[in-house]
Structure 1
């Protein structure tokens, strides 16, 4: 089973460099992804690097009832609107990544893939908020970290030790002459 999973991962990875359909989303939005293979029996995979690909579901009919989920937790997030469209409900960061549909029959054929990512506006807003929070926390008075005190004390003691060693060496040199 691990060999098959690795094979699928390598095939998906090689297709990442090919043309992807990009979909910019806002967190909480719903998304429809189309499969360009246009067949009834397909597997839907999600690839979120560096993790291995995750099998979401398999369709074998043209309706929702024709979906077989790999894990029951996927039923709350993913559904099939038609045989070649995957519906993702209420996007969170967990659903970001590249989605592939794969033909179930031999030889396996992968779609070009669809990349779901946070739109620049939303990403910029989140980044700005994080930076603003960091600036505000840096402006607030903070206690000095304990490791800084230990480091400074250690450096001062080492300098004093070196001075004492040099003084002892010079004292021994003078007393031997």
Structure 2
């Protein structure tokens, strides 16, 4: 029941608590401070994917601690002023650590987020506002250049297509004009032939009448 209460307090507290970042490399030992002056405190680990885990209870005697899981005895220990020591850090120990007293409701310390150096650098690549503005400006410039190149390419395509369409239209117009000229010439030839035949036919008929 006490553990459930602690987890509930942690859930409420972590929404507004100030979190300090502590960086380390995997395999190193880490010491996390507790800013409470109480005789007894709990150490709690909060992970993003899991609920809160109560690690141990530390007493005024730094050599005395009660572990809520026997596997924690080889991973954690406490020193004076309730400082928590984590041995041979792995990804399983990464998360947010709290120390809290045994009062009801309990008082919690500032939280400490334990993270590995490489992961932190990756996540905080542009936390510097100057870098962020510069990066944003670079992105804008690159986007503008890409947009200009894209627009130029589109205009080139439009010009080429327009030129091809004009060429096709000219060819069709010329071909149509030639066809019309040829057709008219053919009609003229047929008319001329008919006229010649008509004249010849009339001349032949006249000669028969006079004979």
Q: Under a length normalisation based on structure 1, what TM-score does the superposition of the two structures give?
A: 0.62
Alignment coverage as a number of residue pairs: 121
Deviation of 1:121 after TM superposition, in Å, equals 7.3
Task: Look up the match of 1:84.
Answer: 82
Structure 2 unmatched ranges of 5 or more: 123-211
Q: Are 1:70 and 2:63 matched, yes or no?
A: no
Secondary structure at 2:26's aligned position in 1? coil
Query: In the aligned structure 1, how far is the partner of 2:106 from the partner of 2:6?
Result: 13
For the Cα contact (< 8 Å) 1:26–1:122, is it kept in 2? no
Deviation of 1:94 after TM superposition, in Å, equals 0.2
Secondary structure at 2:61's aligned position in 1? coil
| RMSD, aligned α-carbons | 2.1
Higher strand proportion: 1
Query: In the aligned structure 2, how far is the partner of 1:122 from the partner of 1:113?
Result: 17
Deviation of 1:82 after TM superposition, in Å, equals 1.4
Task: Look up the match of 1:106.
Answer: 104
Task: Look up the match of 2:51.
Answer: 52
Query: In the aligned structure 1, how far is the partner of 2:89 from the partner of 2:11?
Result: 26
Secondary structure at 1:14's aligned position in 2? coil
The structure 1 segments of at least 4 consecutive aligned residues displaced by more than 4 Å after TM superposition are: 121-124
For the Cα contact (< 8 Å) 1:96–1:117, is it kept in 2? yes
Secondary structure at 1:7's aligned position in 2? helix
Higher helix proportion: 2
For the Cα contact (< 8 Å) 1:24–1:119, is it kept in 2? yes
Query: In the aligned structure 1, how far is the partner of 2:105 from the partner of 2:120?
Result: 40
Go from structure 1 to structure 2 and tell me whether the alpha carbon gap of 1:121 and 1:7 turns closer, same or farther (over 3 Å shift).
Answer: closer
**Worse-matched range after superposition: 94-103 or 79-88:** 79-88
Structure 1 unmatched ranges of 5 or more: 125-177
Q: Are 1:39 and 2:38 matched, yes or no?
A: yes
Q: Are 1:28 and 2:12 matched, yes or no?
A: no
